[in-house]
Structure 1
Amino acid sequence: MLYNNIDTKHSDLAVAQQFKPFFKEKNKRAFWIAGPCSAETEEQVLSTARSLASANIDLFRAGIWKPRTRPNSFEGIGTQGLEWLNKVQTETGLKVCTEVANTAHVEACLKHGIDVVWIGARTTVSPFAVQEIADALQGSEVKVLIKNPINPDLKLWVGAIERVAKSGIEHIGAIHRGFSSFEINKYRNQPRWQIAIELKREFPDLTIICDSSHISGNRVLLEEVSQKALDLNYDGIMMEVHPNPDKAWSDAEQQVTPEVFAKLKERLIYRPAEIDDAAFNESLDNLRLQIDEIDDEIIALINSRMQIVDDIGAYKKRNNMSILQTKRWSEILDRCMTKATELGLSTEFISKMLETIHQESINRQHSILKRKD
């Protein structure tokens, strides 16, 4: 696997049954969260909210406390920003949300009647910090969103969700904002979509929002990332919107104007996961049955391959040979990449698949070499 701790089978599955939907029109349309990365001035917050009120968003977001990488960066306007969010509620009728990282933040948000709080990626990595926040939330009716941890660790994400759920919070959602990586790629944070998909499989009733701004890192990719999330049946999108993005005090490159946001929002297509059409569903079921049969064949073929791998391992042991022959592995890769190209398959996908199979083959042969006959 390209990420850690994807297996969540030991998580507390009973928690999933406590989740309630974040919004009433689930599966009818996408849920939208928009607003500036940081609350900078009262006028900036209110002008953005007024522009977004007509764009039919569900939550207005603004960072009040900003956990920055370096201390000399703008770290948020602080508690006075909550008063600006209160004015947003009063003037526009929009519900508001902001990030919390400790008990003091939670208490301030509850005092000011903030509708939704989210736990950021830097906080999700610490079970101690999450538990502190969960304890502070106990007894409240505020809704809570939990961002994925910075590193691709699904169990940390699940653990944070469970801690908040055990505090009595019923309306819990997850925000997928991507994962840090040393790899050079076009994204600010690698999406690693499969991790969020596994989270959804673990908790089918959990609302999952894609933070396309933090995955993209620049406004050029926002539409592509947002549409990909909606195509993967995410419940909604979080996007950073600023009246003058290039002058923003934080994350300027990934923010858009309210006008650009409204046009982008209209272009995105939301497709429900299920359609109430008997003929369509019957056709889909037939195609899925074919997929299931092919999957069975693939598993059977892999099993046959592994039996041959075991035979080769036994042969290597008898003849005192090393497990890995680099030349042979290169030959397999070259041949399969050529075949994949001829068939129009993704060479990246085939390469990853072969590497996984090859690693399992090495593991099996290593076990054979260690085994005492």
Structure 2
Amino acid sequence: MTAALKLKAIRDWFDVRREPLVIAGPCSAESEEQLFETSKQLVESGAVSAIRAGIWKPRTRPNSFEGIGPHALPWLTRVKEELQIPVATEVANAQHVEHCLRAGIDILWIGARTTVNPFYVQEIAEALKGTDIPVLVKNPIHSDLGLWVGALERLEKVGIQKLAAVHRGFYTDSDAPFRNEPKWEMSFALRAKAPDIPIICDPSHIAGKRNLVEQVSQTALDINLDGLMIESHITPEKALSDAAQQLTPADLVSMINRLILRSSEPRNENAHLELDQLRTKIDGLDQQIVNLLKDRMDLVREIGQIKVDNDISIFQMDRWFEILAKRGLQGKELELNTALIQELFQTIHKYSVERQNEVFQNKNRS
């Protein structure tokens, strides 16, 4: 993201009725009655700032419900005009953009399946050139920060200033409670690359199950994301897409009222002092960790030298499995998160192999 990029805060885009900022509505606009009644209940609650509904639904396999298409755009327009609230939908190509601009849709979003392809994003960006419409960009399916940032940059280059990112989680093939792995660290990485970009969480697509949406929503607020984009349907069990993750308007409003908005800084002076003291201790421990890593990498280099002198291969699988098992057991005994230990030592091992490879390369050059 260019250093000169200055974007409007998300709350400048449209009337925000309350905190937290919530964009809500059905996964798909299935009928005019379904969309309007869902929207009406959400708007009357005062809990939402905009209504969302999918018109085009990209699906992996044919014969799945792929949305009503442009025939449903007047339904969104009716919601906008009669309920006096901004409306949003997803676009995946230039033709979608043109339909939405003609219909007066207020907010567009680019889905995860589109963000992965720079050609698609560029086509959408070109179609949006000269407009001032807010555009939300969902993270790509896989955790590729470059694609996410690149999509935002392409839109910024054609003059789109009202931009936000949507954190909707990432594909995983492992058994997990969530449909998509949250990987909250990706939102931190995006903040570092583009600090002016608001980030909205899509807890529906992370959770995949309606009973987990509240948990994900609260986590998103706890890490200071800028709002929520939640799927809601008057009869979720009958929904034609994503039935398991949609909430009724009443349940969504009840959930919103239970969410806790926490301050980013302590208001209590004693808490402030205690945090400073503990953070100072953490800083000391972090310095020790870095020093220990330096000592470990020095030993790795010595091992690499012995291997190259004796024609021993860099990677020994038995030794690697031994390290994982021992450190994993140690972590378990200390009640540390198993995934933390595994990921930590996978990273350490990766750079240990690189360090030994440097020794081999130096030998080859001499």
- Note whether the superposition's TM-score is higher than 0.5: yes
Matches within 5 A, 1:262-341: 262-274=253-265, 280-341=271-332
Change in 2 beyond 3 A, CA 1:284/1:139: farther
> In structure 2, what is the equivalent of residue 369 of structure 1?
360
Matches within 5 A, 1:71-220: 71-220=62-211
TM-score by length of 2: 0.92
Contact 1:125–1:156, Cα closer than 8 Å, also in 2: yes
Matched, 1:243 2:234: yes
Superposed CA deviations along residues 231-252 of structure 1, whole A, max 9, x for unmatched, are 2211111111000011111111
Hey, what's the Cα distance between the residues in 2 that align with 1:92 and 1:289?
52
Among candidates 3, 6, 13, match of residue 2 of structure 2: 13
Matches within 5 A, 1:21-100: 21-24=9-12, 29-53=19-43, 54-100=45-91
Hey, what's the Cα distance between the residues in 1 that align with 2:109 and 2:252?
22
3-state secondary structure, aligned to 1:365: helix
Aligned-pair CA distance for 1:174:
0.5
Change in 2 beyond 3 A, CA 1:79/1:327: closer
Residue type at the aligned position of 2:114: T
Residue type at the aligned position of 2:303: I
Residue type at the aligned position of 1:230: L
3-state secondary structure, aligned to 2:69: coil
TM-score by length of 1: 0.90
Residue type at the aligned position of 2:32: E
Q: Tell me how many residue pairs correspond in the alignment.
A: 360
Aligned-pair CA distance for 1:325:
3.2
Matched, 1:227 2:215: no
3-state secondary structure, aligned to 1:263: helix
Aligned-pair CA distance for 1:354:
1.0
Contact 1:313–1:369, Cα closer than 8 Å, also in 2: yes
Q: Structure 1 residues 216-225 or 139-148, which shifts more?
A: 216-225
Contact 2:114–2:121, Cα closer than 8 Å, also in 1: yes
Greater relative contact order structure (CA < 8 Å, 6+ sep)? 1
Q: Structure 1 residues 230-239 or 178-187, which shifts more?
A: 178-187
Residue type at the aligned position of 2:336: L
Contact 2:47–2:253, Cα closer than 8 Å, also in 1: no
Residue type at the aligned position of 1:266: N
Segments of 5+ residues of structure 2 without an aligned counterpart are none
Instruction: Using the aligned pairs only, state the percent identity.
Output: 49
Contact 2:23–2:50, Cα closer than 8 Å, also in 1: yes
> In structure 2, what is the equivalent of residue 254 of structure 1?
245
Contact 2:56–2:68, Cα closer than 8 Å, also in 1: yes
Residue type at the aligned position of 1:214: H
Hey, what's the Cα distance between the residues in 2 that align with 1:41 and 1:366?
61
Residue type at the aligned position of 1:151: H
Aligned-pair CA distance for 1:80:
2.8
Aligned-pair CA distance for 1:293:
2.8
Aligned-pair CA distance for 1:123:
1.1
Aligned-pair CA distance for 1:282:
4.9
Contact 1:59–1:95, Cα closer than 8 Å, also in 2: yes
Contact 2:47–2:256, Cα closer than 8 Å, also in 1: no
